[in-house]
Structure 1
Amino acid sequence: MRIGSVEFETKGRVAVLTLDEPTKLNAISLGIRQGVTEGLAKIESDPEIRVGILTGRGDKAFCAGADISTFPESPEQARDFIAGVLPVLEAPERCRKPLIAAVNGIAFGGGFELAIACDFILASERAKFGVPEIQLGLLPGFALLRLHQIVGRPKAKEMSMLGEPISAAEAVSLGIALRAVAPEQLMDEAMAFAEKLAAKPQMALQMAKSFYNKGIGGDDMRYAIDAFPFLFQTDDVKEGVAAFRAKRKPVFK
């Protein structure tokens, strides 16, 4: 079954959502947003589904983040953009069932954020993680609220302020990913892990997720939606986006 730009399939008690725009590195288009939102809602509502897996089509990318070709060009458009995207990125947190991100390639920006919103990350050994928004004169939205809770403040600041990617091995050492596996074994490992979770008492699993996620979300999301558009008033953002589209190095003032 296809929902927007996401392939939805069930394998016994496990649902697999595959972001399916590989020519755009599975960037977060309207179709991806629709597929993730509606796919997670199906997982939530179907009593036969106990665990979900999110992954990306192709061997290059889990999700490359925002689709820069459709990037907002004004603070007003930016607020509408972030207000539409943030609920998608936090949707895995709100789903009461366990979710595994099987990260098969790059997970940058919004793709990284979608992965860390899941309960677990299994990574291909060639996967890379990062929040490169600073290269556009911007900051990550969702990751700015969550990353320091995973890796600590100094490392979160370094990743956000430099925008440099980290390897799968470093992601494991930082506690971002559970483990890294050979690329050809990734989905088998994810399915095996999902089946282990599916065999556990479901009410206890869901209560565990609720307990560990207690206190996240709420006012901080509203702050991100309200604060993010102000960056679009700066010349640095215009230069960063223009440089990205022209495939040149930005010159920030």
Structure 2
Amino acid sequence: MPRDLAEQLRENIMAASGHTPPRTAAGPLRLNGVFDADTAALRAHLARHQERVDALPARPDRGSEQQAAAERHLTAGRTARMAFMRVHGERLHRELTDDGRQSARIEQLAPLAAELVPGLAPGPERLAAERANSQSGKDGYEVDQGILLWGMLRSPVAGGRILDAMLAPTVRALAALPAFRRTGVLDLGTVHLAREGGAAHLTVTNTRYLNAEDDTLAEDLETAVDLALMDEQVHVGVVRGGVMDHPRYAGRRVFSSGINLTKLYHGRISFVDFLIRRELSYIHKLIRGIRWPEGAEPLSADGVVEKPWIAAVDGHAIGGGMQLLLAFDRVIADTGVHFSLPALQEGIVPGAANLRLGRIIGPRPARQVVLGGRRIEADDPAARLICDDIVAPELMDKTVAGAVEALDDPCVVPNRRMINLVEEPVDQFRAYMAEFALEQAKRLYSRDVLANIERTWLSRKRRAVD
């Protein structure tokens, strides 16, 4: 019997019986720097390790030793992917995009990579199977997506092309544009979009979850931002939370409650479609604008359309909500507002806040917020660095209207563009997002994060019963 087959059979038998063999099925991947040869070697290497994992029961049904065996093989595969992407990240992107001639968004790149190099990234079927489990019941194949994006984003060439691709308007937005231009109103589900004078008002209406963010809201927000940027009648964008029907906040507006922890517990928060997409799509577009597809109607010399943005903050801006504020040109809040980044409680990285917060409130206060859990109330001096205006609730509408009028000036766009070029160069953002993709993917499936999610969920269930 061939050595590899004998080792595989022995390991499968021992793992199924609850015994862990002393070594993995294959040694480390050896690369020679030639793309085709290394691709073939990687495919074979990953297939051997994945076969061992697939021979085990599903994660929720594994014993401790079986789980240890699975983790060993999954880790060996990820070590190999890291080595491959470190050497071939830029070349892989060229292969997936016809040497850059085809634009591809991040949600397209992972399936393309899975097809070109089976095992490098999870395919749709494996991801669908994972999504059927709670977060703690997954094997974490989204980590492989994080490695893939890290390897491409860290290349200035490939990463730059990805950022450009993410600035294009979505297919959904392009399809909805004629109707929005005609009527000035659109209900996207969790976002209501209305044009009033020269302003587009984006009202977040994910009321069931106190405007917490999830995959659906990410798609709706990107669509709304695209439409506001593409509609020539819109000169300024305004984002505000809608009126809640939750008993605790009934009749009051809430800006954002951060990531939807209920959906995260149930495994319904996507790494690519939410955690990475929100940073590279609508938040990036708030800062950089949109880039029209080649051949489409150009609204500027270089095809990029930018507009100023206002955030109107009622109630609170927690987690992702606070992250979002760092991308706006003007922030208006009511006197009862508070801000926080509960990164340590959740155990994940708070988006691009680690890139932007120190620039806005100072390095030391930023560490206190991110690493120490400091909550910023409206009367905290730091709130004056996050917000341009803090006004009584009854003055919010009037203050927002005044801000729209002030920013509806042809000189605003070129000046905000030059400010953003200095404050956050595109290449700095690209390099940050490369590391973020890797770290966030690992965090999502770290043991401490899974334990935090379980504790939070159990605590909420107890409060609901009490």
TM-score of the aligned structures, taking structure 1 as reference length:
0.88
Query: 1:17/1:138 Cα in 2 relative to 1: closer, same or farther (>3 Å)?
Result: same
Aligned equivalents of 2:272, 2:438: Cα separation in 1: 7
Does the CA-based 8 Å contact 2:265-2:453 persist in structure 1? no
Query: What are the superposed Cα offsets for residues 205-230 of structure 1, whole Å, 9 maximum, x if unpaired?
Result: 11111111111532212221122112
Measured in 1, the distance between the counterparts of 2:381 and 2:286 equals: 19
Displacement over 4 Å in runs of 4+: 171-174
1:132-168 CA distances to partner (integer Å, 9 max, x unpaired)? 1210222312111111111111111100012232112
Aligned residues of 1:7 and 1:18 also touching (Cα < 8 A): yes
Helix, strand or coil: the match of 1:16? strand
Matched, 1:64 2:257: yes
Equivalent residue of 1:123, what SS? strand
Which moves more between the two structures, 9-18 or 171-180? 171-180
Partner of residue 196 from structure 1, selected from 394, 402, 406: 406
Structure number with greater CO (CA < 8 Å, separation at least 6) is 1
| 1:173/1:91 CA distance change after superposition, 3 Å | same
User: Would the aligned equivalents of 2:313 and 2:337 in 1 still touch at CA under 8 Å?
Assistant: yes
Select the residue among 430, 434, 440 that pairs with 1:222.
434
Indicate if the aligned counterparts of 1:136 and 1:236 stay in contact, CA closer than 8 A.
no
Give the deviation of 1:85 after TM superposition.
2.7
Secondary structure at the aligned position of 1:213 is classed as helix
Contact 1:122/1:190, CA 8 A, preserved across alignment:
yes
Query: For residue 239 of structure 1, what is the aligned residue in structure 2?
Result: 451
Report the Cα offset of residue 234 of structure 1.
Answer: 2.6
1:141-156 equivalence runs, <5 A: 141-156=351-366
SS in 1 for 2:333: strand
Deviation by residue 1:184-222 (Cα, 9 ceiling, x = unmatched): 221221112111221x2x2x2111111111115322122
In terms of Rg, which structure is larger?
A: 2
Is residue 417 of structure 2 the alignment partner of residue 210 of structure 1?
yes
Q: Paired residue for 1:35?
A: 220
Amino acid at match of 1:66: I
Inter-partner Cα distance in structure 2 for 1:68 and 1:177: 26
Q: Show the counterpart of 2:388.
A: 178
Gaps of 5+ in 2: 1-185, 244-251, 290-305, 461-466
For each residue in 1:55-112, what CA deviation from the matched residue of structure 2 results, as whole angstroms up to 9, or x when unmatched?
Answer: 00122520111111222789xx646642223223333112310000000111011111
Larger proportion of strand: 1
Aligned equivalents of 2:383 and 2:202: distance in 1?
27
Counterparts of residues 7-22 of structure 1 (less than 5 Å)? 7-22=192-207
Letter in 2 for 1:135: Q
Asked if 2 retains the 8 angstrom alpha-carbon contact of 1:65 and 1:108, the reply is yes
1:118 is displaced (CA, Å) by 1.2
Unaligned runs of 5+ in 1: 249-253
Deviates more, 1:85-94 or 1:130-139: 85-94
Residue 313 of structure 2 corresponds to: 103
Instruction: Give 1:40 shift.
Output: 1.1
Q: Distance in 2 between matches of 1:124 and 1:149?
A: 23
Would you say how many aligned residue pairs link Structure 1 and Structure 2? Answer: 244
Q: 1:34-54 CA distances to partner (integer Å, 9 max, x unpaired)?
A: 221111111211111110110
The alignment-based identity, stated in percent, is: 25
Q: What is the DSSP-based 3-state SS (H/G/I as helix, E as strand, rest coil) of the residue aligned with 2:379?
A: helix
Q: 1:156 to 1:174 in 2, by over 3 A?
A: farther
Change (3 A) 1:81 1:6: closer
Q: Which residue of 1 aligns with 2:156?
A: none
Q: TM-score, normalised by structure 2?
A: 0.49
Counterpart position of 2:56: none
Whole-Å separation in 1 of the counterparts to 2:438 and 2:274: 11
Query: CA-to-partner distance for each residue in 1:118-143, whole Å, 9 max, x for gaps?
Result: 11110011111110121022231211
SS at match of 2:278: helix
1:176 Cα deviation after fit: 0.7
2:85 counterpart residue number: none
CA distance in 1, matches of 2:189, 2:416: 28
